[in-house]
A and B are shown apart, each in its own frame.
Chain A
Amino acid sequence: MLAGNRRWLLLTVGAGGFMVHQVAEALVPVLIGVVVDRAIVPRDGMALGLWLGVLAAVFVVLTMAWRIGMRSTVRAFSFAAHDLRRLTVARVLDPLGMARQRAAGETLTIASSDTNRVAGISWLVTGQLGALAAIGTTAVSLLLVSVPLGIAVLVATPVMLLVMHRLSVPLEARSETEQETAARAGGLATDLVTGLRVLKGLGAEEAAADRYRRASRDSLAAALRAVRSRAAYQAVSTVLSVVFLAAVAFFAGRMALAGQITVGELVAVVGLAQFVQEPMSRTGFLGVELAQKRASARRLLLLLGEPTVHSPVDGAASAAHAGTRDGGAATVTIAGVFGGSVVPRFTARAGQVVGVVVPDGGDAARLVDVLGCRAPAAPGAVVVNGTDLAALDPSAGRALVFAARHDASLFSTSVRENLAPDGPLDDRAIDASGTGEVLGHLAEGLDTPLVGRGQHLSGGQRQRLVLGRALHRPEPVLVLHDPTTAVDTVTEARIAAALRGFPERALVLVTSSPTLLAVCDEVVTAVAVVATPAGTDRELVAS
């Protein structure tokens, strides 16, 4: 890890490199003028050698300064993006959770493009400082040649910058539309191909291609509009600079005719007037670039500052309860209101399997989230080994109860690392989850990497791997949410029977599958909260 002041050093060196480079670039037309003046006009061979030598020296400085500037800026940018990515990921993975859950796509955009854009400020800083150096060198050189010319340039520059800036503002909107429509068309293409099996099932290939064609035409129209406005901007800026150039050339020419400046100075002046266009238009775009970065920075800051779901619990008190991850007879007691459903009080002890039927799918998910410490538990709602889950911090709670979501993800490591990331494989868990049958279909068995998070597996295969992983967990209380919805009825029956083979664990099955409920020691059914005045829920439980 680089320290913060090292970052500033990189940025300073980068800016310095680019500035020296631009100064040297500005000196090239000046030197062309000098060669004309000192060597070509007086036909002086010695002077030619001397000034070509100076030109070579300037080129060495120019090229080395650029190299240093480039390398330092790339480093500054890369490590800044790296830091921002780390911060973003750390915030997303904070065990205390996020108050507002963003869609995965939104978080991804922030973690990948917004971090890069914000880090791109490194380029902005060093590049703009370089441009300023170029404009400054031009002005000083002209001042040295002729004070009125120099002053004219110093006055004309801000005026031109202002005009260019005004012209570049609508460009931004156009190219944003261009990028949006292009992204929409690209996203649609990805989406249609991802859903190809569904499309084929409907024979809807043509309808889908037609839809894409429309999106593609929209994108084409927006692209052409954006090109037209970019080209118009370029044309106007060409006209502006040619006016500037013609005026400078005319006045400098008249001064040269009057003998106020030399021919070489005239050459240098027109050369500089040509050269300064590029840095000027770069600076003209500063406002647009800043606006882009501001939007990204705002999204990034909102994410990083997102409030947590759980308030931090006193670590010491919490840790005192959390010693029973492995072993020890587990007992979990659950009762209370979860979403719009009331779960009657029940207790599951090690070796027992208790089924919980929650008719409302959303409330079932809510119950599992509370058990998995992803949502705060009401005091007394979940008690594990005599400890109220609400009094534990989420990490301590997760050491007692393992409750993954129904749609838990797999990761792109090997099957083995997915099943048992922390320890040896357990044959019992593999057999019980029906994973053995899945392994038979995989080219390299347990060592098969799950490329693309297992997306090339069928839903039933993924579900069995997720179940196999859950059965490998060491926590004394295991909660499974509809673990067999995607597997066939025969395999479901086998899994149901095998789930009884884990005597060291208290198993809670949140499910409505009769096949699974048939193997439970006890089944409780939640009832919907009737619209009653607050506080009467308990009576409802009692009834």
Chain B
Amino acid sequence: MSADVVTADPGQAGPAAPAVPARTILPVATTAATNAALWRMLTMRRWLFAGTVAVLLAGSVAGLATPALLGVMVNVVVEGGRTSELVRFGLLLLGAGVLSAVLGYLGQTLLARICEGALADLREDVLASALDLPLEQVERAGVGDVVARVSGDVDAVSEAISGVLPAVTSAVFTIALTLVGLGALDWRFALAAVAAAPLQVVSLRWFLRRSGPVYREVRVAEAQRTEQVIETVAGATTVTTLGHGERHEDLVAQSSIRAIDLSLTGIALLTRFYNRLNIAELIGLGAVLAVGFWLVSGNAVTVGAATAAALYFHRLFGPIGMVLGEFDEIQKAGAGLARLVGVTTAATWPVEGGGPSDPADRLSAQGDRPASAADVPGPRSAVVLRDVTFAYSPGRDVLTGVDLEVAEGEHVALVGASGAGKTSVAKLAMGIHRPTRGAVQVLGATPGRRRRAAADEGLPAPRPDAAMVSQEVHVFSGTLAEDLRLAAPRASDAELHAALDAVEARWVADLPEGLATAVGAGGLDLSPDRAQQLALARILLLDPAVVVLDEATAEVGTDGAATLDRAARAALAGRTAVVIAHRLSQAAAADRVVVMDAGRVVESGTHDELRAAGGQYARLWAAWERGSGER
């Protein structure tokens, strides 16, 4: 039973290299940075902290009076004292006990206020920082890495802070003061007690060295088991449809057995560690008793003192086991903390490419190009892509020399195969990515610039100029009203209802609790088309000038698709829109259709012009029309 037998590489469990950009997880803070952050949190509560330490100390002193008074009572007996003395010391014992109980209560609650308060501040900081990260960076790190930090690491740190830290803190106080108490009886008692320390230190180091890797593997194996159970249970319908029931039962059983085997290895180490601690206890207790014998024989101390010393040491068994046993919990929490502090310092915004600070200058600086849209009379351009080239990784251009202008209030549909660059155009317009070459402007400014400038100055973010509904439907867990108010925190119930009516979400009226109905994970499961209606209602509430729409409608049926098309029209009315078309009916309804292929714009014009032109769009439309006639 040794850890060396296990050869699986936990690194293999990491997320796979994704499609285009290389995966770079978010940074982990250094020990120094983590300690600095911890210190900042403690000093924010300086007085509370000092008070808590004082109360905990006083509580430990009062607790220590118990074995001391028991020793005194033994002395009274040995020296043939009077019953009244026993009464006095018995009452003192009672008083000290009650005092230690009261101080213990105060100490625990004060400590919790510090720790839990700091923990709450930290997790809120971490989440706010995670949400503020540039999307590009999040995609490179993988959403999984961010989720693991805001949930898994926060849980691990909370568990340590609420579950382990208070007990360990008071144990440390008890140990320290008991040693002081032993020394007060006679310095040689303290020396005897310390005889246990070398074995304890050696055992702890032995345990941590071996348990670290084993526990890591146990955690990996348990995570794999959980992942396998999730996969099988969440995909149960698909599993049975494929006829793979038995196969998946075996997969779950295998992952479960593997986790058990590893955890048994861990338990074997743990029991050996505690065996050694028991031996250390024996050595310490034996030494204290022997010293007591020797000192009593030499009349250096009383029998009562020797008794008190033995009882002191006996009382230490629990606290020492607690501190040493939870040591790795604390270490784990430290690792989690470093990952959390890492998130708060992670954000790296793309550097504005060295050119003139006003992006409008960059457009006009390209002298050989035709004059920018602003110079042309007529409707102003809301979205401008000028000679844009873009690559996720150097040398692999996904867009080459794209020129696109969308006039204010114009609706443009993008049509093209996957990989043609439609989504890249949308992300550039949203400011999620920066062009490798060329310039992008939304309402005359680099997208996202105003918001970031506000953030830099610590001002609340202004309403965004552009908003995007992506293919990814996500209903946020919470009430329906909370979901909608993400877009407009101050919207009244009447405004929410108006937005829902506009996107024809009539089903809301049938919900028993209306806007207060819980939706999303753990709540009412909304069908994809209803989720899309919510997404469109959010756009109405947000009221941006420019909308990018990449909505795919899944499992909608004919009726649903028509409803969604009307809802989208309502949400886009009066706005500039770039629509990535998944149904050609969306393209037909747009003011202009832009066909992309292999990172270039290949056709551009109204629906009728392109049909007449007989190109790629005309062929697509012909097939679509034939199918529509079939119904």
Contacts and interface: CB of A to CB of B under 8 A. Distances in A.
Contacts, number: 538
Report the 7 A-B pairs with minimum CB-CB distance, sorted nearest first. A242-B97, A514-B627, A518-B627, A361-B557, A409-B235, A203-B464, A195-B474
Interface string B86-123: 11001101101110111011001100110011011001
Given A187-B477, A196-B138, A441-B20, A409 B311 contact: no
A272 B247 CA distance: 56
Given A40-B306, A190-B151, A267-B307, A357 B558 contact: yes
Contacts of B315: 274
B93 A227 contact: no
A192 interface: yes
Interface in A225-245: 227-228, 230-232, 234-236, 238-239, 241-243, 245
A64 B278 CA distance: 10
23 contacts: A66-B271, A67-B272, A71-B271, A82-B260, A93-B232, A196-B130, A220-B120, A234-B104, A246-B91, A263-B78, A361-B529, A363-B557, A403-B241, A405-B241, A407-B555, A408-B241, A437-B419, A441-B419, A456-B16, A488-B420, A488-B422, A489-B581, A518-B626
Given A202-B542, A514-B628, A517-B631, A253 B76 contact: yes
Interface residues of B, number: 185
Contacts of B467: 201-203
A409 B242 CA distance: 11
A94 to B, nearest CB: 8
A514 B625 contact: yes
A224 B587 CA distance: 57
Interface centre among A192, A243, A496 (most CB of B within 10 A): A192
Contacts of A267: 74, 307, 310-311
Interface stretch (A122-130, A143-151, A156-164, A442-450): A442-450
Interface string B277-313: 0110110011001101100110000010011001100
Given A238-B101, A253-B76, A488-B418, A63 B274 contact: yes
B402 to A, nearest CB: 17
Of the candidates B94, B143, B267, B555, the one having the most CB atoms from chain A within 10 angstroms of its own CB is: B555
What does DSSP make chain B's interface, helix, strand, loop or mixed? helix
A43 B297 contact: yes
B552 to A, nearest CB: 4
Interface string B475-488: 01110001001110
B524 to A, nearest CB: 10
A111 B311 contact: no
Contact of B275 (A67, A89, A245): A67
Interface stretch (A134-142, A208-216, A311-319): A208-216
Interface in B146-178: 146-147, 150-151, 154-155, 158, 162, 166
A231 B170 CA distance: 13
B552 A224 contact: no
B476 A191 contact: yes
Interface in A25-77: 28-29, 32, 35-36, 39-41, 43, 45, 48, 52, 55-56, 59, 62-64, 66-67, 70-71, 74-75
Contact of A70 (B83, B135, B146, B271): B271
A245 B93 contact: yes
Interface string A304-343: 0000000000000000000000000000000000000000
A9 interface: no
Contacts of B535: 198
Nearest to B621: A489
Given A79-B260, A94-B240, 17 more contacts: A35-B289, A95-B240, A112-B226, A190-B150, A192-B131, A193-B130, A199-B486, A203-B464, A227-B112, A231-B104, A249-B90, A266-B73, A270-B70, A408-B237, A444-B17, A458-B471, A515-B627
B233 interface: yes
Contacts of A410: 235
Interface residues of A, number: 180
Nearest to A32: B310
Given A59-B278, A242-B66, A254-B86, A518 B131 contact: no
Contact of B293 (A40, A205, A372, A449): A40
Contact of A205 (B132, B233, B281): B132
Most chain A CB atoms below 10 A, which of B234, B468, B476: B476
B415 interface: yes
Given A32-B289, A199-B131, A513 B560 contact: no
Interface in B25-50: none
Contact of A374 (B237, B310, B553): B237
A453 B548 CA distance: 28
B340 to A, nearest CB: 12
B109 A496 contact: no
A271 interface: yes
A48 B293 contact: yes
Contact of B554 (A219, A394, A399, A485): A485
Nearest to B155: A186
A291 interface: no
Nearest to A450: B16
Interface stretch (A99-107, A382-390, A498-506): A99-107
A337 to B, nearest CB: 16
